[in-house]
A and B are shown apart, each in its own frame.
Chain A
Amino acid sequence: MIPAQYQPPLPLNKLLVPVGTPGAGDRMELDVVIVGAGPAGLATAIELAQLAKRDGTELNIGVLEKAGALGEHCLSGAVVNPRAFRELFPGLHDSDFPFRAPVRGEAVYLLTANRRLRLPTPPTMRNKGNYVASLCEIVRWLGEKAEALGVNIFTGFPAASLLVDGPRVAGVRTAATGLDRAGNPLANYLAPNDLVAQVTVLAEGTRGMLAQAWSEWQQVTAENPQIFALGVKEIWETKRPLGTIVHTLGWPLASDAFGGSFMYPLAPNLVALGLVVGLDYRDSALDVHGLFQRMKLHPLFRRYLEGGEMVEWGAKTIPEGGYYSVPARRSGDSVVIVGDSAGFVDVPSLKGIHYAMQSGMFAARAVFAALKHGDPSAARLGDYDRMVNASFIIHDLYRTRNMRLAFKHGFYTGGLKAGLMTLTGGRFPGGKIAMSRDVDVPRRIAPGVSPGLGVSPGLGVSPGLGVSPGPGVSPGPVVSPGPVVPDGRLTFSKVDGVFKSGNATRDTIPTHLIVGRDVSPEAADFYARLCPAGVYERVDRGLRVNAPNCIDCKATDVLGPRWTPREGGSGPKYKRM
């Protein structure tokens, strides 16, 4: 099964709206509108406001955020490299930043179903000098800094379309609020708003809808398509303190899936842990949430979690393509793309937040200079691309350019190649490993695997996979021990998870997910397993969509039904993710 067969195209006619098209309520003019109050968008806003202040100019900056409150849709590991914070706030010290604690020790393990083998920490994964943090907390802190500088942050206002004027982006139109299931206005209906700006900054985060639409419209491509991973994460209050950060490889993933887990102490008895799996996995029955639940049964995790309490759950995709998936340009006429939307993530070091912030700061400098010249054209805003290209962002991504990609042929060859790449500073094997879009990767349908198992039937089932189980340590016997039946203590169902994400979206909003036509029963099963929030259910030979469950992770936007924004404040309400 090839998922692309069932994926509807981006609804470009809805995403690109000529400026002046009727249908909006209020119209507001700003100098700069920023879509998304994550680390990239807020760093852009802060740097812009600081530049304007230093220059004595007045700059009207607005940030749109779809979450009901700052940080509620932000999720990361996270171990943060503080360098972008230091540059953005030269007057502050590390102790002033919203971090939890410095990394005091770290361990990398290769897991089998019952055992673990400690590996030497790969150089890319060394975290000395970095800090454990909650992205929600970082974003709330950045938001306060931005507001103190006079930036307008509009939480609860998702951007639904780009306003376009010829080849130029003229601003954005927000999503309407207060519609019933059939799309009719309710008593508290609020029409879309048009925010017209000299420059629009797309900081939508992973799998940005408007960034995709703009790139498709302007035919901006990259050497490789962007590829994604899905991470499912929980926060636990534990009885047993965790002192170091932990990463694992291997079990419970089969060797033809790329991924790993993390476990970080936010405080000694407050632990963030999660499992991240590349969406180019081959087994259509793979279920990241299900695998994550199984993973917690391993003694390595269990010893910390047992007797504790799961207090938060969430999920998000991650752009993993790295250097070759960064779009050829991230700027155009009156528009720039920053952060995850531009693909500034380095998988081998598991870092993105400082790249997001730094890209926002570069964007702010280019935008400010362009506005000073009264010329926010593609030529001027191209300074942003030039700054990024000359910086540590592209330098770091270039060093590890093929590492994630090497794993497309499985864990063993990938591990070997990645090791050689590390030794050669990225020069081995030379050239570029070409990737397909995740949606074009064929999926194996194993007969008789029951839904929700999340277990791979093993190596070599499908010929031509290119998996070579070499000698050495196996990442685990690949057996089907049966589905994890959630016990409500250590393991949880998807519905439990959605509840713990704080998602209280009203049941009566119109569906925001665009499902392809003639979805086969196999594809319906695939969606049901893929979606960590239980949005999709296979019903007989059809598909049921429980849209209010959606927590905006974007996984099916990558591999199936398209995501569009709902009314503001819908979705999860993350606190410490």
Chain B
Amino acid sequence: MKIAVCIKRVPDSETRVKIASDGKSLDEAGVKFILNPYDEFAVEEALRRKEQAGAGEVVIVSVGPAAAQETIRTALAMGADRGVLLQTDTIPADGLEIARALAAEVRDSGYDLILFGKMAIDDYNHQVGPMVAELLDLPCVTAIAHLEIGGGKGTAEREIEGGVEIVDFPLPAVLTAEKGLNEPRYPALKGIMAAKKKPLEVKPASLGAGGLEVLALTPPPQRKEGRVVGEGPAAVLELLRLLREEAKVL
């Protein structure tokens, strides 16, 4: 089983985000970067598939700055075999450009599965996985919450509004991971040591500007301050009244 996992280096979700002076990007000063949490599910799933198959290779591919090597090393410490960084200092806003670079990298390399997180927690675009599938002319199942592989084909479950959708697909295929697909492992001490010696190829990414441009970023409006309604049983009635009359949610 040969699996590619495409990952992204993103700001930690705990980060207090500031908009840079250009008004359309993040101020990266003091920001901690992590492996996109949805991609962690994808890495974990790839490792489990390989372990289940008893043989194979898990390759981590990323588009990002030189510092994304650290992010790739995190996945290698979890147990992936090698990494490829398509290096660029600026990530275009247009996911199609990223998808083109990734598709060119994984095309014709004999992968049975190409895994993604369902989205990156910085741009929420949900685009790159399906785009890569389209560019490679492969089947694509997005936001999978469960996966079975066997006999050259797979079955994935997707949690949809009010139920579960079960999808059969042939291999090779592109899948994107939803939260709950698995519980990602922590890198073990030996894994961290081993990751330092695993191959990590760095080559320049050839990216176009794409068709999208970010014009401005603005912070969300300040949340209104909460109000303490009161204490004890009397507060329940008051709360109900406010929910009914002021908030109009009941």
Contacts and interface: CB of A to CB of B under 8 A. Distances in A.
Interface of A: 25-26, 28, 69, 152, 154, 156-157, 174, 177-178, 186-188, 190, 193, 195, 311, 502, 504, 568, 573, 575-576
B183 A188 contact: yes
10 contacts: A26-B189, A26-B190, A152-B192, A154-B192, A174-B189, A186-B183, A188-B186, A193-B189, A195-B189, A575-B32
Interface string B184-198: 111011101100100
Contact of A575 (B30, B184, B189): B30
A183 B189 CA distance: 21
B190 A311 contact: no
9 smallest CB-CB distances across A and B, nearest first, come from A187-B183, A193-B189, A188-B183, A26-B190, A190-B186, A177-B186, A575-B30, A26-B189, A188-B185
A178 B32 contact: no
Contacts of A25: 188
Given A26-B189, A504-B14, A575-B32, 8 more contacts: A26-B188, A28-B189, A177-B186, A178-B186, A190-B188, A193-B188, A573-B32, A576-B30
Contact of A69 (B32, B183, B184, B186): B32
B16 interface: yes
A437 B160 CA distance: 62
A157 to B, nearest CB: 6
Interface residues of B, number: 14
Given A28-B193, A152-B192, A575-B32, A311 B16 contact: yes
Interface in B158-207: 183-186, 188-190, 192-193, 196
A461 to B, nearest CB: 34
A28 B194 CA distance: 12
A576 B186 CA distance: 26
A191 B11 CA distance: 29
A157 B186 CA distance: 11
Contacts of A26: 188-190
B91 to A, nearest CB: 22
Contacts of A187: 183
Contacts of A575: 30, 32
Nearest to B184: A188
A152 B191 CA distance: 12
A508 to B, nearest CB: 13
Q: At the interface, is chain B mostly helix, strand, loop or mixed?
A: loop
Contacts of A188: 183-186
Nearest to B182: A187
Given A69-B32, A188-B184, A188-B185, A573 B14 contact: yes
A108 B189 CA distance: 48
Contacts of A311: 16
A187 B48 CA distance: 13
Nearest to B190: A26
Interface string B11-23: 0001010000000
B183 A156 contact: no
A502 B12 CA distance: 11
A163 to B, nearest CB: 15
A174 B190 CA distance: 13
A417 B93 CA distance: 66
Contacts of A152: 192-193, 196
A216 to B, nearest CB: 28
Contacts of B32: 69, 573, 575
A156 B186 contact: yes
A69 B31 CA distance: 12
A69 B16 CA distance: 17
B32, B183, B196, most chain A CB atoms within 10 A: B32
Contacts of A157: 189
Given A69-B32, A187-B183, A575-B32, A154 B189 contact: yes
Contacts of B14: 502, 504, 573
A193 B185 CA distance: 16
A187 B193 CA distance: 23
Contacts of B30: 575-576
Contacts of A576: 30
B16, B186, B188, B189, most chain A CB atoms within 10 A: B189
Given A69-B32, A502-B14, A573-B14, A28 B190 contact: yes
Nearest to B185: A188
Contacts of B184: 188
Contacts of B16: 311
Contacts of A502: 14
Contacts of B196: 152
B184, B193, B196, most chain A CB atoms within 10 A: B193
B114 to A, nearest CB: 25
A462 B68 CA distance: 61
A504 B16 CA distance: 14
Interface in B1-40: 14, 16, 30, 32
Contacts of A174: 189
A69, A195, A568, most chain B CB atoms within 10 A: A69
A212 B189 CA distance: 26
A238 B188 CA distance: 42
B44 to A, nearest CB: 9
Nearest to B44: A188
A187 B186 CA distance: 11
A178 B187 CA distance: 12
B30, B186, B192, most chain A CB atoms within 10 A: B186
A253 to B, nearest CB: 32
A572 to B, nearest CB: 11
Nearest to A60: B193
A41 B99 CA distance: 43
Contacts of A190: 185-186, 188
Nearest to B30: A575
A450 to B, nearest CB: 18
Contacts of A568: 186
Contacts of B183: 186-188
B151 to A, nearest CB: 27
Nearest to B33: A69
A28 B192 CA distance: 12
Nearest to B12: A573
A502 B32 CA distance: 12
Contacts of B189: 26, 28, 154, 157, 174, 193, 195
Nearest to B31: A575
Contacts of A186: 183
A152 B30 CA distance: 23
A145 B32 CA distance: 18
B239 to A, nearest CB: 22
A195 B192 CA distance: 14
Contacts of A177: 186
Nearest to B34: A69
A154 B194 CA distance: 12
A311 B185 CA distance: 32
A573 B185 CA distance: 21
A152 B197 CA distance: 12
B185 to A, nearest CB: 6
A193 B188 CA distance: 9
A503 B99 CA distance: 36
A28 B190 CA distance: 8
A16 B192 CA distance: 26
A313 to B, nearest CB: 12
Contacts of A573: 14, 32
A311 B15 CA distance: 11
A546 to B, nearest CB: 19
